[in-house]
A and B are shown apart, each in its own frame.
Chain A
Amino acid sequence: MKRVPMWRRYDHLHGPDTRADVRAELRFHLDCKTEELIAKGWSAAAARQEAESQFGNIRALERAGERIGEQMERRRRISEYAAEWLQDTRYTLRTLRNNPAFAGVAILVLALGVGLNAAVFSVVNTMLLRPLPFPKSQELVWFTAGKSLDAKTRVAGGLSGETYTVDVYREFQRNNRSFQSVTAFQTFYNSLQYKLTGVSEPKQLDAVEVAGNFFPTLGVVPVLGRNFTEEETLKGGRPAAILSYYFWKTEFAADPHVIGKTVSINTSPAAVNGPVTIVGVLPASFDFGAVFAPGKKVDLFVPAVMDFWKTWGNTLAVVGRLKPGVSVLRAQDEADRLFPQMKLQHKDWYYDYASDLSGLKNHVAGKLRRSLVVLWCAVGLILLIVCVNLSNLQLSRAATRSKEFAMRRALGAGRGRLIRQLLTESLILAFVGSAAGLAIGFGISYYLAHQTFIALPLLTTIHLDGASVFWTLLTAIALGILFGLAPALRISGTSIQEAIKDNAAGMASGRSHERFRSILVISEVSLACLLLVGAGLLLRSFLRVLDVDLGFNPAHAAAMQIDLPPAANKDQLIQRTQTLKAEIDRVAALPGVESVGIADMLPLDRNREWGLAAVGHYHAKDADTGALAYLVTPGYLQAMGMRLLEGRDFAWNDTPDHQPVIIINQSAARREWPGEDPVGKLAYATGNTPDRVIGVIADVRESALEQKSSPEIYVPMTQNSDVEGATLVVRSRIDSGALGVSMLTALRGLDPSQPATTLRPLQSLVDHSVSPRRFFVLLVTIFAALGILLAALGIYGVISYSVTQKTQEIGVRMALGATRGRVQRAVLAQTLRLAIAGLAAGTLASLGAARLIASLLFATSPWDPVAYAAMVGFLLAIALASGYFPAWRASRIQPMTALRSN
């Protein structure tokens, strides 16, 4: 760009007038011509006429001149504007360099605010705004069965209450008209165990069985190889597997020739056995866990052989892809008609399977909407506080610069020009801060995406994308204008005379600055208040959740998945019992082990529903007789720390030849035998012969810490073979890492093919269950802490500035006999006034806003007095602390120096 020469500026003194310029220029020419003609002897009048006639159409010429002139004028104005902008930028950079403390604090505060915003936006964007990572994902629909069951039964039914049998799935697939295709996957992932053998040491795999059309329906195309063929999904078909991208990278070193290789994957019970051919590798963008099972890492996918599963109960989760143009509502309409119709034709179905259909996205993230919105609001509050704080900083700087500005105005700078310069300053700060903030946001989202212990859907797919960067830039601009405008308007508005004679001794403008700054600080405190109350309530809920009586004791206990021999008949079951007993005995013999037991499923993990109906009691036809069933060995209850309230634990001699026995929980006892002692009573639970209740345990939180227990039955593995995998639980005070190794060695002594798995502390189950809550609490607490820090900074700034302003006044007072304590008290009182005003406003706002987060709270009122009291106390303490240093400084003022200075 060409620099506009300095003299051009003076054009503005006259104001640009292209029309006059053109006229003057042409007139000069005419005059010269006329004079020349007169010199040649023409008469004045004739000369004039001749000159004009030579000119031709002078009007047209003038118009052309004006047009070009205006064009140039416009261009000049733009380039001048740019030059001024450059000038402002240079000036800003110079002043910021001269004031590194201010620049540093401002940029840091901005970076934190913007960084958190960018990170939270990337979370919100991924979970709420962005479509799922599938083509035309808005067509995908999730099916939740159990619409016709009442709410309590539905909760009690656990996973079984929401899933479908093979028959229902197939019938719906055949009869519906709304869907292009309907697919399913097996939700009881662990009922088939997969072991990778022959590569190195045996390794437990996480596999999911999916219907043959699962990937095509989702629109996921393997990056290598192909999808399952029809033949591979049939019973007796060639076993095939598709690897997840992650597994392919880690286990097969991203070998491009992996297709067609066979691996040995032993499964039990024997649906598939022997070599399995790898037929495909999925793209990195597909993360099964992220969408369908938060926190789960899947190694490979195998076809769900429907003919194998059709004799089982509700195990399939169903997903459909709508035909183009069909809405979820219309599909729901059809489903509402279709399911009861199908039930009429199939008397053997458990119930009608009426279903709730929801967009897959909504199913995945719908429950998080409120939490995320709250999070977004919290981070927005942070940004507001950042703005207020920066305004405050700008103002305090402006106070020392007021003379500079007055001088510039006196020299002819317009008010607009000054505002522009101040805004340039703010915008530059905002952009630098945002750049740093983007880096922070990138770091946070990268960190979040690599957390597997937080069970939130789609978390692994979080990244800062274009939308987040755009959002950040937008916030940066908004921030710059927001925090720059108020001070700019105020500073430029001060009258010249006042500013020049204002000698920092408490003149009117100084006072009004201070009042304005006080208002800023009060609003900062009240915003921090809001955040703090929110964080306090969420934190208290979180503690309440952690305080819940789980019904088992996760401390000093750990669990490990183990291999389970198949048991198709009674002899095999007896043999298996012996194996299990041997395993338990071996592990129990290890030093430091207190108790050991095996269960097929753990609480807070997966679950399945059977039934429980007391013999001899009347059960209405539609009465809820469901109960969650757990198959366990003797010693399991003790190893888990579950409390046996009555009766006895299972024993190894409860064999298939003896009376089948069960243990129930209190909820089950209350439902089936209200007011009676259930021990010794008979009930139908595991089959056609009644089981005898031999014990009652205290209720166990089985699905979530926040949810009350459902009726449960515990069935001995020694009598029942219907297991869903096996998990060995050990209670010991030894570190789980070391114990795991010695346990594995002990188990391999019995069964060399025992796959290598890790010993997970039971606490991890609890952690996993509360991780979404922990995640939100942590974030909101961090925001609150930041908010308080900023508010403290604001208070400190204002008080400290006012002490500086009043140095002389304080000096006079001290000279007149005020004690140090009195001066300190005065300053602290001023601090308290600000804090209390902010607290009052903030508390009122919180009382109103708390209702919005009520649904996120657990056993805590949104008006919980403890949270409010803690907030008030905490903020007051922070306010006093931030006012203390200026107060101390005030009390150290030497009267003589103060009076002499200035």
Chain B
Amino acid sequence: MNKSRLELIRGTLDVLILKSLIWGPLHGYAITSLIRRQSDEALLVEEGTLYPALWRLENKGLVESEWGLSDNNRKAKYYSLTGEGRRHLRAETRIWQAYAEAVAKILGATEPPALETI
């Protein structure tokens, strides 16, 4: 398996977590595997960064947590998006897409931009 490990750009993890919760409540482990699968194994979230990020988000009120039962009938802490989190995700997604588009434009360019007419 060829794992191209990509370093997460700072601030990206929060959006990814929020996005992964949009399908419904998940526990921490499920979040990592969702991100991994969704990115075709390209992104691997480390536990040492995931949990602090999750707790921070909860502290900010973007996600909330609840103890529940996992598929294998074990007590697990499930996180879900709050209304606030949903709004935050929408805004962040827009910014990200604009940013990615701009970066892609520059990196994919084949010729220099036309001269500005003053």
Contacts and interface: CB of A to CB of B under 8 A. Distances in A.
Interface in B34-66: 46-48, 51-52, 55-56, 58-59, 61
A855 to B, nearest CB: 67
A21 B55 contact: no
A65 B51 contact: yes
Nearest to A2: B61
Contacts of A29: 27-29, 47, 51
B76 interface: yes
Contacts of A28: 27-29, 70, 74-77
Contact of A25 (B28, B46, B48, B59): B28
Interface stretch (A50-58, A387-395, A594-602): A50-58
B51 A25 contact: yes
Contacts of A69: 55
Interface string B8-42: 00000000000000000001110000000000000
B69 to A, nearest CB: 11
A31 interface: yes
A673 B67 CA distance: 110
Given A56-B46, A72-B58, A72-B59, A21 B51 contact: no
A24 B74 CA distance: 11
Given A24-B75, A31-B74, A33-B29, A56 B51 contact: no
Contacts of A55: 47-48
A25 B77 contact: yes
A56 B48 contact: yes
Contacts of B58: 68, 72
Q: From A24, A29, A56, A68, name the one whose CB has the most chain B CB atoms within 10 angstroms.
A: A29
A284 interface: no
Nearest to B82: A2
Contacts, number: 56
A25 B56 CA distance: 15
A26 interface: yes
Interface string A50-91: 000011110001001100110110000000000000000000
Contacts of A54: 46-47
Contacts of B29: 28-29, 32-33
A27 to B, nearest CB: 10
Interface residues of B, number: 19
Contacts of A21: 77
Interface in A1-44: 2, 21, 24-26, 28-29, 31-33, 35
A29 B61 CA distance: 23
Contacts of A25: 27-28, 51, 76-77
B35 to A, nearest CB: 14
A831 to B, nearest CB: 61
Interface in A779-810: none
A863 to B, nearest CB: 71
B20 to A, nearest CB: 15
Nearest to A33: B29
A33 B29 CA distance: 8
A28 B30 CA distance: 11
A149 B89 CA distance: 92
Nearest to A35: B72
A794 B29 CA distance: 68
Contacts of B52: 61, 64-65, 68
B30 to A, nearest CB: 8
Contacts of A56: 46-48
Interface string A285-323: 000000000000000000000000000000000000000
Nearest to A67: B55
B55 A65 contact: yes
Contacts of B76: 25, 28
A2 B46 CA distance: 32
Contacts of B77: 21, 24-25, 28
B68 to A, nearest CB: 11
A71 B75 CA distance: 24
Contacts of A31: 74
B67 to A, nearest CB: 8
A71 B59 contact: yes
A68 B59 contact: yes
Given A28-B27, A29-B29, A61 B75 contact: no
B51 to A, nearest CB: 6
A68 B74 contact: no
Interface in A677-691: none
A61 B74 contact: no
A200 B74 CA distance: 102
B46 A61 contact: no
A32 B52 CA distance: 19
Contacts of A64: 51-52, 55
Given A28-B29, A32-B29, 8 more contacts: A28-B28, A28-B76, A31-B74, A32-B70, A35-B72, A56-B48, A64-B51, A65-B51
Across chains A and B, which 8 residue pairs bring their CB atoms closest together, nearest first? A56-B48, A32-B29, A68-B55, A25-B77, A29-B29, A28-B76, A55-B47, A29-B28
7 contacts: A25-B28, A25-B51, A33-B29, A56-B46, A56-B47, A56-B48, A64-B51
